Amino acid sequence: MNKTVNPNELTSDDDNGPLYVAQKKVYPQSISGTFRRIKWGLMALCLGVYYFLPFVRWNRGLGAPSQAVLIDLPNSRFYFFFIELWPQEVYYFTGLLIVAAIALFLMNSVGGRIWCGYLCPQTVWTDLFYAVERLVEGDRRERMKKDKSSDPMKLERISEIVLKHSIWLLIAWWTGGAWVLYFNDAPTLVKELVTFQAPMIAYIWIGILTATTYVLAGFMREQVCTYMCPWPRIQAALTDEWALNVTYRYDRGEKRTSVKKAAELRAQGEHVGDCVDCYQCVAVCPTGIDIRNGPQMECIQCGLCIDACDNVMTKIGRPKRLIGYDNDINIQRRQEGNAPVYRIVRARTVAYSAIIAVIGGFMIYTLATRSLLDINVLHDRNPVAVKLSDGSIRNAYTVRLLNKSGYDRVVAIDANGPANATIHVVGVDSVTPDRPMVVIPRDSTSELRLLVTAPAESNPEKSIPVRFHVTDIGLGEVAAATDNFVAP
Amino acid sequence: MTDHHSDIDAVTGRSTTGHEWDGIKELNTPLPRWWVITFYLTIVWAIGYWIVYPAWPLISSNTTGLLGYSTRASLAVELANLDSVRGEKMVALAAAPLADIEKDPALLALARAKGKTVFGDNCAPCHGSGGAGAKGFPNLNDDDWLWGGTLDQIMQTIQFGARSGHAKAHEGQMLAFGKDGVLKADEIVTVANYVRALSGLSTRKGYDAAKGEKIFTENCVACHGDGGKGNPEMGAPNLTDKIWLYGSDEATLIETISQGRAGVMPAWEGRLDPATIKAMAVYVHSLGGGK
């Protein structure tokens, strides 16, 4: 933490200040209020989804995975409720990431670091770990006292520390455990994990995520946000003067005085600020900063200082929200005696929303209308054309048929290109000449070698387009692809 | 560096590094201690790498490291693993009757994949990477086969080769009718034109078809058969079709007839294992010209 150094403390001649500093341990005080309630709610929602989603079932028929959300790496499939994605559809994830990034920008231009303060896993788990710490070791003052105490540790203190770390490790272990469940059938894997039958890689990943959760939420905490995360820097470049941020309204707060003195001065008709310098906003801050110093990179804008200040203002009978979501424009307007203006709808937010709507809409459209039957055709490159003994011309193609549905399909293949051309699939003796039929097993692809032969009399041009159709005999579903027929 | 006493930034109250650009001084922002410790740990970790992995170049070699790791050895292990993974499938391929492989999509895919790789490694220098061939090296995609185009015939040719020196190799060659003095120069020109006429190509002005037929019957029919339809037993090509191994123009034909032709296909038995040869036969057959 970069704390202000008092010049008087730096008296040594050759001391330019320390080159590195120890992490200053933060002891956030418990608090209750609107934003704390929002944070509890979101924490329960996020963790609930994360820990329990792998156990949600979804019926996809016999032989298909019954897990609602599953990343099936060995079979290269991703399942999300009614959606099944293949590796070649990875662009849906690209789209999702674009939407997520723009959603971050939108949050930022509306209400500052909403992501950081309420939704980021680092914040959520750190918050949970702080709650455990508070439960076991007591609130801010107690924890500070216990840490500062130089007395030899008593059994009670030791058991407290052991208990805290045990609970932390348990949460961390559960976090890692939930992670691996997304990659395999959850109930099966749980059974295997318990009986030590699970693959080594599962234990390794649980170990890695247990370690990261334990270290990042238990020890690194605000250091992650301040030093490791790129988002504070990025969001600082994205913000504008209208974005609402957790702000100390210095127009109202300054000049700070004590409650008693403020009452006296007010009685004399002098202007005094509402801030009574109680340091409650600092005490509750999980990053250990003073919001009254203005917007700071370390501030994750969790809103807990708003709750802390509101409680104090209520007690001393002053209006709430001395700290609140606001911006400098409104502070200036109030100083000039004007009413504050909030502009949520502005070019920036409209543009972000529009981008989200367009990309999201396009993704939903393509997903809803995508074909579960597909054909890819690759023309042989060497040789591009073959002359047969009777003078006819043959082109060979590698055809890949994709059946993304949950049932086997019987399909017929047609090729429309050179006049009177015949088509043949290697290894298939078709009962319907020139319309070879093949079976594509469900949820898989078939690669075929397809030969198109044009008779010598047809004397095909140098290059003519060929349209390949694959037709599901039962359902009539059709997919098509175009390539060229080349003559030597 | 300027005088340290004055190196306190008036606005922030923080010390500066003493570095100054156009009147702007750089604040001394201390690194977090954990960061510094992590940095030193990475250095220690790197030293660990020097010890356990190959690292330092020496004059003619390099330090090998305690783990004895090398990318070459690692590749050998990977390849051995691959072989053991493929082993079962190759056993299935070796066991399947040649004629049934193309009927089984899984075996066909395996044979084609295996065959394609082996073809690229061993056959492509002459036949081209896609089997398109070249002058003197047959195109394996078409339906014209010197030694027969059935699966068994293709496999036999791959196994033993042609004029390869193998005891079971295909023998028989195009004789050098000119060089050996069997035919005179004008007879060679005549029979070359006769052969062109067989597959409907134009003939030289004043060419005597009757004389050509006579020469052909006396000298060529023994191998190329009546009407020049060819004979896969002898490796004698069909002279009536549109495919020419060396070329169909008069000059090339005259060269072929007077100098003879005897291209060599090596025997692969003993150089490739039976399952691989089988896969290659299926691959070549499935290129499209197989009978």
DSSP class per residue in B83-127:
HHHHHHHHHHHHHS-HHHHTTSHHHHHHHHHHHHHHHHHHTHHHH
Q: How many residues belong to chain B?
A: 291
The CB-based long-range contact list for A32-38 (8 Å cut-off, 24+ gap) reads A32/A307, A32/A311, A33/A304, A33/A306, A33/A307, A33/A308, A33/A310, A33/A311, A34/A303, A34/A306, A34/A307, A34/A310, A35/A302, A35/A303, A35/A304, A35/A306, A35/A307, A36/A304, A36/A307, A38/A118, A38/A303
Q: Does A15 touch chain B (CB under 8 A)?
A: yes
pLDDT at residue B13, as a whole number:
81
Q: How many residues belong to chain A?
A: 488
Residues of A in contact with B36 (CB under 8 A): 19-20
The torsion angles phi and psi of A250, rounded to 5 degrees, stand at -65, -20
Q: Are strands A77-80 and B24-27 parallel, antiparallel or unpaired?
A: unpaired
Residues of A in contact with B241 (CB under 8 A): 389-391
- Distance (Å) from the alpha carbon of B61 to chain A's nearest alpha carbon: 36
Both tokens of B21, joined, read 């650009």
Please tell me which of the candidates B8, B105, B129 has its beta carbon nearest to residue A10: B8
pLDDT at residue A17, as a whole number:
63
Are B243 and A446 an interchain contact pair (Cβ–Cβ within 8 Å)? no
What is d(CA A485, CA A423) in angstroms, rounded to the nearest whole number?
12
Nearest residue on chain B to A430, alpha-carbon basis: B103
Q: Does B229 touch chain A (CB under 8 A)?
A: no
Q: Does B126 touch chain A (CB under 8 A)?
A: no
Please tell me which of the candidates A4, A446, A456 has its beta carbon nearest to residue B105: A446
Are A383 and B8 an interchain contact pair (Cβ–Cβ within 8 Å)? no
Residues of A in contact with B100 (CB under 8 A): none
Mean pLDDT score, B151-173: 94
8 Å CB contact between A484 and A463: yes
- Distance (Å) from the alpha carbon of B180 to chain A's nearest alpha carbon: 31
Q: Does A396 touch chain B (CB under 8 A)?
A: yes
Q: How many CB pairs under 8 A join A and B?
A: 115
- Average pLDDT along chain B: 91
Please tell me which of the candidates B15, B36, B109 has its beta carbon nearest to residue A20: B36
Are B4 and A13 an interchain contact pair (Cβ–Cβ within 8 Å)? yes
Are B130 and A383 an interchain contact pair (Cβ–Cβ within 8 Å)? yes
The model's pLDDT over A213-242, given as tens digits with 9 standing for 90+, comes to 999 999 999 999 999 999 998 888 888 999
pLDDT at residue A15, as a whole number:
53
Residues of A in contact with B32 (CB under 8 A): 20-23, 223, 227
What is d(CA A287, CA A300) in angstroms, rounded to the nearest whole number?
8
Residues of B in contact with A25 (CB under 8 A): none
pLDDT at residue B112, as a whole number:
92
Are A17 and B28 an interchain contact pair (Cβ–Cβ within 8 Å)? yes
Asked whether the ipTM of the predicted complex exceeds the cut of 0.85, the reply is no
* Regions of chain A short of the pLDDT cut 50: 1-2, 7-14
Residues of B in contact with A451 (CB under 8 A): 288
pLDDT at residue A6, as a whole number:
53
Nearest CA to A60 out of A442, A391, A432, A382 is that of A442
Mean pLDDT score, B206-214: 92
Mean pLDDT score, B50-62: 92
- Distance (Å) from the alpha carbon of B36 to chain A's nearest alpha carbon: 7
Return the C-alpha torsion angle B140, B146, B148, B152, nearest 10. -70
pLDDT > 90 in chain B, percent = 75
8 Å CB contact between B277 and B159: yes
Are B15 and A381 an interchain contact pair (Cβ–Cβ within 8 Å)? no
The rounded Cα A161 to chain-centroid distance in angstroms is 33
Q: What is the pTM of this model?
A: 0.81
- Average pLDDT along chain A: 91
Residues of A in contact with B288 (CB under 8 A): 386, 394, 396, 426, 449, 451
Are B286 and A449 an interchain contact pair (Cβ–Cβ within 8 Å)? yes
pLDDT at residue B54, as a whole number:
92
Tell me which DSSP letter residue A7 carries: G
Please tell me which of the candidates B15, B31, B131 has its beta carbon nearest to residue A5: B15
Q: Does B264 touch chain A (CB under 8 A)?
A: no
pLDDT at residue A210, as a whole number:
97
Are A16 and B18 an interchain contact pair (Cβ–Cβ within 8 Å)? yes
- Distance (Å) from the alpha carbon of B220 to chain A's nearest alpha carbon: 20
Q: Does B34 touch chain A (CB under 8 A)?
A: yes
8 Å CB contact between B248 and B202: no
pLDDT at residue B2, as a whole number:
44
Indicate which of A1, A16, A221 best probes the interface with B, i.e. most B CBs within 10 Å of its own CB: A16
Mean pLDDT score, B232-252: 93
